[in-house]
Each structure stands twice: as structure tokens, then as C-alpha cells.
Amino acid sequence: MSFDKRARRRRLVLVIAILIAAHFYIRPWVASRFAPDLLMLAMMLVAIRSRPGVAAVAGFLVGLTADVLSPARFGAGALSHTIVGYLAAYGRAVFFPDNLLVNAGLFAVGVWLRSLIVLLASGAGPSELASTLLIWGPIQALVTALVGVVVVVFFRDWLAIRLDE
């Protein structure tokens, strides 16, 4: 492994560590329904830079962490994060991940899809399912995508993203 590849990997790990620390330090101070999901954002950044198997394992680990902290059925978060991580890594072959708009869309769709899978796996009622998927889910997805765009722009050199638009 070359020095440049190791340095890029270390910088990615540092960005992920910053996002995880911010998730547990800043997120409790923001209204919970509007708060960006920084764990999901960190997992998506790993997923679009790795193979589908690695992304699924990363999603599973993030999902287990989310399961411990959520009132949904245990395993719903692990399942949803695993599926979203795998699909994000697989989608890298279809979409060009160096485009800022594609990254924002990927972050938003990933957060919304994760919410859908968690609600379905935890047996949510129709009213909760409708309100979350039609109101609160899109708001959280857009806020997370906005924060994701800021992170990608701010750390573009560290994440090795070319933003040629």
C-alpha cells in the first residue's frame, strides 16, 4: 500500500471520527426530528468509497449502535443500515460519486430509505408510518444531505473528491 493511499485512509477515518463525535455531542442539542443523522452520514461516506461487502459490514455496525440508542425493535436499525450501506456502495457503479449533487441525493435517499426500513421492520402503525415518511423523514433527509454537502465541500481534499462542476 502506498503512502498516499494510507494517508487518504487515515484522513477518511479522521473525518468519520469527527462526524461520530459530533453526532453524540451536538445532536442532543438540536430538535430530534430535525437533527441530521451524522452516524448515517459517516456510514454513507464509507459506503461510497468501498466495496458492497465492506459497506454492508460498516452499515451493520452503525445499525447495531443505532439499535442500542433507539426505541424501535432491536435489529431494525442493523437491518436498515446494512441494506442502505450495501445499496450505496453498489450504486457507486451506476452514479458518479464525485458530483456534489449526486452526493447530496445519495445522502438524502439513504436517510429516507433507512427510515422506511426501520419503520417497516419495527411494525409501526399506519399513522406513524405516514407522518414519518411524508413529513419528518424528508425533512431529516434534506437536513442530513445539507450537512453532508458541507462536510464534502469542507473536507474535499481529505476525502479525495473532485468537485468539477
Q: Residue 90 corresponds to which amino acid?
A: Y
Q: Strand, helix or coil at 31?
A: coil
Give how far the C-alpha of residue 29 lies from the chain's centroid of Cα atoms, to the nearest Å.
20
H/E element, 5 = helix 3-25
Task: Say what the pLDDT of residue 107 is.
Answer: 94
Per-residue pLDDT of the chain (165 residues; tens, 9 = 90+): 556 778 778 888 888 889 888 888 887 787 777 788 899 999 999 998 889 999 999 999 999 988 887 776 788 889 999 999 999 999 877 876 678 888 899 999 999 999 999 989 888 888 888 988 899 899 999 999 999 999 998 888 777 665 555
The three cell numbers of residue 83 are 441494506
Contact (CB, 8 A) for 91 and 102: no
Compute the distance between CA of residue 151 and CA of residue 148 in angstroms, rounded to an integer: 5
List, in sequence order, the alpha helices (H) in 100-164.
100-121, 126-131, 137-154
List, in sequence order, the alpha helices (H) in 26-99.
38-47, 52-69, 76-91
Contact (CB, 8 A) for 111 and 145: yes
Compute the distance between CA of residue 68 and CA of residue 81 in angstroms, rounded to an integer: 13
Compute the distance between CA of residue 47 and CA of residue 123 in angstroms, rounded to an integer: 27
Task: Say what the pLDDT of residue 2 is.
Answer: 59
